[in-house]
Amino acid sequence: MKVDLSVDLCGVRLRAPVLAASGCFGFGREMAGWVDLAALGGVVTKSVSLEPRRGRPTPRAAETPSGMLNAIGLQNPGVEAFCAGDLRFLADAGATVVASLVGRSPEEFGRLAARLAGEPAVALVEVNLSCPNVEHRGEVFATDPAAAAEVVRVVKRATATPVLAKLTADVTDLVAVARAVTDAGADGLTLINTLLGMAVDTTARRPRLAAVTGGLSGPAIRPVAVRCVWQVAQALPGVPIVGTGGIVSADDAAEFLLVGATAVAVGTGNFINPRAVVEVADGLERYLATAGVTSPAELPALFKAER
Amino acid sequence: MAPVRELCEVLERRRVGAYHALTLVAPGIAGQARPGQFVHLLAGEDRSFPLRRPFSIHRAERPGWSPGGPGGSGGPPGWSPGGPGAALGTVEVVFDVVGAGTLALSRLRPHDVVDALGPLGRPFAPPETPTGCVLVGGGYGTAPLYFLATELRLRRCRVDFVIGAASAGRLLDAMEARRLGHSLTLTTDDGSAGRRGLVTDPLGDLLARTGAGQVYACGPMPMLAAVSRVAAAAGVPCQVAVEEQMACGTGICFSCVLPVRPGAPTRMARSCLEGPVFDGAAIAWAELGFPELEPTA
């Protein structure tokens, strides 16, 4: 039995069900010396906005138990520089590109989607509705089902490229948000973004991040992410989900695939091991072989929900 | 050449004054390391503090390189010949115990394994022609300057050291500076060794006296800001190796940024990729809370 790692994500064939998560792989070209970009399931780029963003002051990151907080503030060169430089590089390298978009209004998201609709190198678009490191909580569209749905509607009108909506677990009813964005046309979901957190330097008696609060990532949040994927997969069967949150090993990835994710994305794990995406995929191949299946798509059927 | 990931055997861990020195068998890193570059280390099995820790390279011994030995030709300048570990290919870092990660590193024993990425970052650029160089170090920030001094001496540059620390015990390896440099000026905050004061106090006079054409500095940010200011006032170019908080070390997390020129009017540059060595005059010191450089004529 030969394992075939490839999966279909919203009509796009991925070589493996393991992507590099947005904000945790730069714009991809930084990693060309560490991995073969063409061999990855895909590269979700750092979020791109219409205009360049400078990001937050430092310190931007703080290590926390089994994870880290970050408040980078969406530093990026803007969509035009991205298309002229990083996107071209990724296309030449043969990478499967998921372009992550971030805007301050539905209209900005729409203009970004329209701009990238003309870029054949973009296989999928991920709408970042849930970055916690923004100036106003109102920019975290995924905290409100109606606001999140409006962004997705505008993006879908602007592009024929399949659209993933990236949501946050920092809500009371994630399923309601997931349903709103899929009803609005999202082809799939990415679950979850970082969780809003805070850490205090007790010696200096001040926040450890310049932005005061930041997004918590790493293995510390994995149980929250697995729970979110499970809940949404149960409520919305058939909606493709990219599971992300604290994956550093193939076993971590298998948790997400078993509870219903179509693919996973490795985020903070890349900061520790620059070859994490490759090694997680290699390990999954062995996991599938041991489980006696030939495709990641067969894993949910093996999951026994009752203890 | 590209940075590599190596699982490195610990050859030695020893105390150097108030600090720890860790020597790793890392042939892939040692074979390409240049002064100013860093290694990004992960030690132990406890992943409750998950991130790597960056350290500038204090020494690098090229694998198989010894005078007259195999592989003895073609090495770039700057390689310390001979000594234990020369045939293995080793890198040495110096650190202070400041938290859980460095505490774990301080407990390493010979034959333990450390996961290392390196060499990372942009090295110090040596002068194109033999030039007088002043090397300014603060605390364990002095670590990369001995590696640099070795390279500069091989390039026939005059090397003068100014080394400072809070107290005598925190001056890193002053004997090594005495051996490598034409002169050594020590300063301590408390006057327990050398002259009482800051490294910048004697720097202006030293630059004038030696007619130095280049300053290199490594240490805490306030020191780097002050050294850049003194060098700019003297009209001498100054390269500084910064120490920013860092997560990935490979350019993907965007946490180790600092404001540099040119930009619009400044931009946030990643110190792991564009640095850690920067032109001191390119850093927007005022944005970091330090006085701006004096404009040079």
Contacts of A251 in chain B (CB under 8 A): none
Tell me what pLDDT residue B70 has. Answer: 42
Prior bond to B262 cis, omega within 30? yes
Angstroms from A117 CA to nearest CA on chain B? 25
For residue B76, is pLDDT > 70?
no
For residue A241, is pLDDT > 50?
yes
The most distant pair of C-alpha atoms in chain A lies apart, rounded to whole Å, by: 59
When pLDDT is cut at 50, 70 and 90, the band that residue B265 belongs to is confident
Tell me what pLDDT residue B122 has. Answer: 98
Beta strands at B159-165 and B183-188: parallel, antiparallel or unpaired: parallel
* Residues B266-295, mean pLDDT to the nearest whole number: 92
Contacts of A59 in chain B (CB under 8 A): 245, 255
Q: Do A72 and B254 touch (CB under 8 A)?
A: yes
Chain B: which residues have CB within 8 Å of chain A?
2-3, 5, 42, 47-52, 101, 117, 244-248, 250-258, 264, 267-268, 273
* Residues A84-111, mean pLDDT to the nearest whole number: 97
Angstroms from A101 CA to nearest CA on chain B? 17
Tell me what pLDDT residue B75 has. Answer: 46
Tell me what pLDDT residue A163 has. Answer: 98
Angstroms from B196 CA to nearest CA on chain A? 27
For chain A, what percent of residues have pLDDT higher than 90? 96
Contacts of B250 in chain A (CB under 8 A): 30-31, 34, 271, 274
Q: Rounded CA gap, A298 and A282, in Å?
A: 17
For residue B109, is pLDDT > 70?
yes
Tell me how long chain A is: 307
For residue B66, is pLDDT > 90?
no
For chain B, what percent of residues have pLDDT higher than 70? 91
CA-based nearest residue in chain A for residue B254? A72
Mutate to test the interface with A, among B255, B271, B273, B285 (most CBs of A within 10 A): B255
Buried-state track B145-155, b at ≥16 Cβ within 10 A, e below 16: bbbbbbbbbeb
* Residues A80-84, mean pLDDT to the nearest whole number: 98
Q: Is residue A1 part of a domain?
A: no
CA-based nearest residue in chain B for residue A272? B51
Compute CA distances B175 → B16, B166, B178, B183, B185, whole Å.
12, 18, 5, 11, 12
Compute CA distances A239 → A13, A17, B293, whole Å.
16, 15, 57
Q: Is residue A203 part of a domain?
A: no
Q: Rounded CA gap, B48 and A177, in Å?
A: 32
Residue pair A268/A218 in contact (Cβ under 8 Å)? The answer is yes
pLDDT in tens, A162-187: 999 999 999 999 999 999 999 999 99
Q: Token match 């796009």: residue? A: A12
* Least confident window among B20-24, B175-179, B203-207, B238-242: B175-179
For chain A, what percent of residues have pLDDT higher than 70? 100
Tell me what pLDDT residue B86 has. Answer: 52
- Residue A204: CB partners within 8 Å, gap ≥ 6? none
Catalytically active residues of A are 131
- Interface size A-B, in CB pairs within 8 Å, comes to 90
Q: Rounded CA gap, A199 and B269, in Å?
A: 25
| Global ipTM | 0.96
Beta partners for residue A42, in sequence order: A19
For residue B68, is pLDDT > 70?
no
Tell me what pLDDT residue B77 has. Answer: 45
The full set of domain ranges for chain B reads: 4-120, 133-288
pLDDT in tens, A24-39: 999 999 999 999 999 9
Q: Is residue A12 part of a domain?
A: yes
For residue B69, is pLDDT > 80?
no
For residue B280, is pLDDT > 70?
yes
Domain count, chain A: 1
Angstroms from B53 CA to nearest CA on chain A? 10
For residue B73, is pLDDT > 50?
no
Contacts of A54 in chain B (CB under 8 A): 267-268
For residue B82, is pLDDT > 80?
no
When pLDDT is cut at 50, 70 and 90, the band that residue A134 belongs to is confident
Q: Do A271 and B47 touch (CB under 8 A)?
A: no
Q: Rounded CA gap, A163 and B23, in Å?
A: 50
For residue B67, is pLDDT > 50?
no
pTM of the model: 0.94
Tell me what pLDDT residue B78 has. Answer: 47
Read off the CATH number of the domain in which A260 is found. 3.20.20.70
Tell me what pLDDT residue A305 has. Answer: 87
**B191 phi, psi to nearest 5 deg:** 75, 10
Q: Please give the CATH number for the structural domain made up of B133-288.
A: 3.40.50.80
Tell me how long chain B is: 297
- Kindly state the tokens that stand for B33: 């390391």
Superfamily of domain B4-120: Translation factors (2.40.30.10)
From B244, B245, B252, residue closest to A30, measured CB to CB: B252
Q: Mean pLDDT for chain A?
A: 97
| First CA to last CA distance, chain A | 29
When pLDDT is cut at 50, 70 and 90, the band that residue A133 belongs to is confident
* Least confident window among B45-49, B53-57, B218-222: B45-49
pLDDT in tens, B127-169: 999 999 999 999 999 999 999 999 999 999 999 999 999 999 9
- Residue A73: CB partners within 8 Å, gap ≥ 6? A53, A54, A55, A56, A60, A133, A134, A211
Dump strand ranges (E) for B69-112: 90-95
For residue A135, is pLDDT > 80?
no
For residue A285, is pLDDT > 50?
yes
* Residues A69-73, mean pLDDT to the nearest whole number: 97
Contacts of A31 in chain B (CB under 8 A): 250, 252
pLDDT in tens, B27-50: 999 999 999 999 999 988 777 888
